[in-house]
Structure 1
Amino acid sequence: MALTSRMSSRLPYLALVLLTGAAVAPFLLLSYYNHPFMDDYYNAANVRTTGLWAQQIELYLRWTGRFSSSLLVTAANPIIYGWYEGFRWTPALTLLATLGTLYLGLRTLSQQRLPRAQAALAAAIFLLFYLHMIPEPYSAIYWFTGSIVYHVAGLALLLVFIASERARWATQTWQRRRWQAGAAICAVMAAAANEMTLLHLLLGLALVLGVKGYRRQWPQMRWWSTLLLLTLVVAVVTVVAPGNYVRMQFEGYAKEQGRANLVRQVLTAVPGVPGAMARLLVRRGLALKLVLPTLLWLPTILHWQRRGWLGTSIRLPWAWGAFFMLASYALSMLLFLGVMRQMPPDRAINGLLLFLFPTALLVIWAALAQRPAAVAWQLPAWLWRWGPVVYVGVFSLLGIPRRAWQELLLSAPAYDQQLLAREAQLRAAWSQGVEHVVVKPILGVKPYRVLITEWELTTEPGHYINSETALYFDVKSIVIDKQLIPQANPGFHYY
């Protein structure tokens, strides 16, 4: 009887683990069918022509000041080294890095009181809701260049605060120095990856520094002041890059070159920020998608509080955290409206949510951690045990895990075979003296907008997707065969 009772009490937890594992699995397995795309080819072609370090200088002077992401999208690009199969590994590594960062964050915030198994399970569920929330999982995880510039940069941002907290309560000097060095490296990576992550890092460091000063925690203030100063130095190097202004004029974001004109352009965008914030929340049901994980997070965090797992790492009044989150959101939107004069693209929204989503959950964590005693209210035992299982199960059936499985089983193998045949045709074109290549569209494949999206080569040889791909394969032009487009799924954009 005792054994039967113990098994039945653990059954909901085991069911939740199996459901979550089955929901995460297709995203990892889809990595096997991943291929280079657009800027992946372009960056590799430029490095092949100019060399790795010369390309960094060229990018800084004529394209962007994002020197850390510029280095990674070139130096870590697998096809630069002839490792074409490397693109089958990079998405899986990105997903595992995300899970590892979330796990480390939960364990750190709880001061290692939260059991490892529960931290790992919570990290996997967080990842599922994040993938469901963002408008385009492809550019966050599977597209190498987009993943480096926004998603990996976002992970580095989270690691700045995680490593700093680990350093604070490290018992040995060498451990503290190691974590501090990691935090400093991640700060440089995050600040120099893209302007939005830089903004979030500056705001986050300023908030923490202000809290430490308010509480007169002088030793900790020295560390946070050092990180903030380092980030400001990186910000100056990034913002003053000549390439920023060359690119803005090239892409039509700025009518006139010059920092004064840019400041004026940003200020004129201020009145439009509240409306843009509201539109983004309405866009694709984002407000509802933010509510879904919160409904699961509230009882979870209450349960952890009663178990004594919250720790005291963050004891911030919820109003402070909410104001910080709102200010960060507003300034992010101002950045895009003022500089790009448009709503943020999907890949930037991915990075924005990687910061705002955990921040919203941390506000709840901090509000409960600040309370001197656990909240007395609790769910009925049966609802607490089986509620998360049903919730994650229904979400997996109706949300993005279902689409991921459909894409994995129904579309990905045929998609992979056709891309392999296309790439073989393009590699053979140069040796055969073919300068203008006509390739088939993807046939018999439906995009489910996980790995396989609407983005494809087009029928226009001058389109940037076509020209960047042609540059890598040493041909003058690449186009999609117009006559075969009616046979392709309308979900692809062939123009």
Structure 2
Amino acid sequence: MQQSLLHRYLLPIATTGLFLVAFVPILFLSYYNHPSAADDYCFADTAVRYGFWQAQQYYYDGWTGRYFSNFLAHGTPLVWGWYAGFKFIPALLAIGWLLAAYTLLGEWLARLEAPTATRRRTQLYLTGLLFFLYILILPNLAEAFIWTASAVVYTVPSALMMYWGAVLLRWQGQQPGTLRTLTGIWASVLVFLIVGCGETHMLLIISLLLAILVFRFVQNRKVDKQLLVQLGVALVSGWLVFRAPGNAIRMQGGATNGDLVGGMVQSLRWLAMTLPRWFIQTPILPLSALWVMIGAGLFHKQTTVNERVSRLFRVPLWYGLLVLFVLLLATVFPSYYATQNLTNRAINVTYAVFLWGWLFILTSQLSRFARFGTTTPPLWLLALTVLWLGVSMVRSLPMRHLYADLLRGDAAQYDRELTARQQLFSQSQADTLRVAPLSVYPTSLFMEDIRTDPTHWWNKCQAGYYGHKVIIIDPSIRPASTRP
């Protein structure tokens, strides 16, 4: 009776509610989004001034070798003259993240060979719960879903990597033929795109491929040629990133400029301090216990556990934990190695890897718990989970900022002021424009603004994009649009 109540009512209501709590505000926030003064206008101005393809070469030679993220950044709605298009970007990023997660989870759960109906429900529950946990303590929501210049380097490749994982699993399970060949080519294209977004995901995907290759070699006593092809594509793509003249120029601006030992020490220290906090600040521990018990019920009782567990989940616990730590290190190390500074947008990726890695490790251990034959969580565990969830949500800074920006009207005010400013920039024929500073800086939306210094890059990029000589913030001017 308790198990029936849990699966029919508590799980659907709880997971749907938690998902909506995190997702719906992002949809509303998306409506108030505007291009950021930081980089968004610089990419657009370069593309409009020199042309789309010439802009790619300009950045590849003069600033960074991130060829695919540059491709996306130079094709934003600003380049098309569609200013309002930025209002769709956060929603599309969030939906893309969810679809990629749902697809990957579908391939994972298919390896457990549970009944289709049960698998689909579990797929939905886990997708919503993962997204909620991701938003719960996300270091910076704006850098993940709002700021386009950041999203194309970090959020887009994160979603692509989830999707690539699903394609890779599908490819390895297909029979030889045209479809399998095309799927393999598509997986290689995805690797090329992921690596081209930035160094963080480049090191992440190479580390993951190496970890899988080593495990498969030990398990089967032969090299997995499919994975070797993927690794080769990743290495060649990484070479394209590092050989870029712009990459050397960008590295010269770093504080350490390639300090291998110092970067590794700082990365290890940061992980040692941060990982325990993530287990405390989120309800991952009680939710993990629930998944171990409920997930074990995915196995058919009529069949032995060993027959039902795919090779995907026959990873020893010690090896899974080791690989997860290496992958986390791979997301942290590039920042410390190059600049001695770990940005929130890089931590966004680290936290996502932590969530996925932890879920995989738990899933790989389900067969152990299925043997015990009990898959109904006790009431005390359900109560503890609810309590931990409540405390985590109350203490969640991203949630508090997200709802505060919407309910206090800061997001709407921010939207009115930037809309008025954009209209002024578009319609005025003056060479020099002075505008009021913003009256609000909503944490969930705001990244950077133009400065009082007309020679600052943010000022020069906006002035160039709109065809003015000088655009400047004048503190003596009141905001163009005030609260109603």
Same fold (TM over 0.5): yes
Distance 1:311 1:143, change over 3 A: farther
- Aligned residue for 1:464? 457
Q: Distance in 2 between matches of 1:237 and 1:64?
A: 11
How many angstroms does 1:215 deviate by? 1.5
Matching residue of 2:236: 233
Return the alpha-carbon distance in structure 1 between the equivalents of residues 369 and 130 of structure 2. Answer: 27
Q: CA contact under 8 A between 2:332 and 2:346: conserved in structure 1? A: no
How big is the shift at 1:277? Answer: 3.2
* Matching residue within 260, 264, 269 for 1:266: 260
Aligned CA distance change for structure 1 residues 480 and 367 (closer, same or farther; 3 Å):
same
2:101 aligned residue: 102
Alpha-carbon contact 1:187-1:231 (below 8 Å) kept: yes
Q: Normalising to structure 2: TM-score of the pair?
A: 0.86
Q: Single out whichever of 475-484 and 18-27 deviates more from structure 2.
A: 475-484
Output the CA distance in 1 between the equivalents of 2:390 and 2:435. 42
2:121 corresponds to 1:117: yes
Quick check: 1:433 aligned with 2:430? yes
**Alignment correspondent of 2:345:** 347
Structure 2 residues not aligned, in runs of 5+: 301-307
SS at 1:299's partner residue? helix
How far off its partner does 1:351 sit?
2.0
- Structure 1 residue 200 displacement after superposition: 0.8
Q: 2:435·2:477 contact (CA, 8 Å) conserved in 1?
A: no
The answer (yes or no) to whether the contact 1:15–1:389 under 8 Å persists in 2 is: no
Match of 2:84 in 1: 85
Inter-partner Cα distance in structure 1 for 2:275 and 2:385: 26
1:481 alignment partner, one of 471, 474, 479:
474
Q: CA deviation at 1:393?
A: 5.5
Residue 223 of structure 1, CA deviation: 0.4
Q: Tell me the equivalent position of 1:58.
A: 58
Residues 333 and 186 of structure 1: is their aligned pair in 2 closer, same or farther, counting only changes over 3 Å? same
Partner of 1:259: none
- CA distance 1:41–1:303, shift in 2 (3 Å): same
Instruction: Name the structure 1 match of 2:304.
Output: none
- Alpha-carbon deviations, 1:192-245, whole Å to 9, x = none? 111111111111001111111112175x80100110111111111111111111
Q: 1:117 to 1:269 in 2, by over 3 A?
A: closer
Contact 2:15 2:125 in 1 (8 A): yes
Aligned residues: 464
Distance 1:74 1:160, change over 3 A: same
| Structure 1 residue matching 2:153: 3-state secondary structure | helix
1:29 aligns with 2:20: no
Per the normalisation by structure 1, the TM-score is 0.84
**Distance change (3 Å), C-alpha of 1:374 and 1:138:** farther
Query: Residues 347 and 462 of structure 1: is their aligned pair in 2 closer, same or farther, counting only changes over 3 Å?
Result: farther
SS of aligned partner of 1:482: coil
Structure 1 residues 104 and 252: CA distance shift in structure 2, 3 A: closer
* The one of 250, 267, 289 aligned to 1:247: 250
Say yes or no: does 1:72 pair with 2:72.
yes
How much does 1:420 deviate?
0.3
CA distance in structure 1 between the partners assigned to 2:136 and 2:248 by the alignment: 35
Q: Partner of 1:344: helix, strand, or coil? A: coil
Letter in 2 for 1:278: A
8 A Cα contact 1:301 1:365, kept in partner: yes
Identify the residue that residue 493 of structure 1 maps to in structure 2: none
Distance 1:158 1:9 in 2: 27
Give the corresponding residue for 1:314: 313
1:180 paired residue number: 184
- In structure 1, what is the Cα distance between the partners aligned to 2:162 and 2:437? 40
Task: Tell me what 1:412 maps to.
Answer: 411
User: Aligned partners of 2:364 and 2:465: how far apart in 1?
Assistant: 50
* Structure-to-structure mapping, 1:279-318, within 5 angstroms: 279-281=273-275, 285-286=277-278, 288-289=280-281, 291-308=282-299, 311-312=309-310, 313-318=312-317
Structure 1 residue 153: deviation in Å?
1.0
Q: Which residue of 2 aligns with 1:157?
A: 161
> For 2:161 and 2:16, how far apart are their aligned partners in 1?
31
Q: Percent identity?
A: 23
Contact 2:19/2:129 (8 A) holds in 1:
no
Deviations, residues 351-370 of structure 1 (Å, cap 9, x unaligned): 2222233112212222334x
CA contact (8 A) 2:101 2:163 kept: no
What is the root-mean-square deviation of aligned Cα atoms in Å? Answer: 3.2
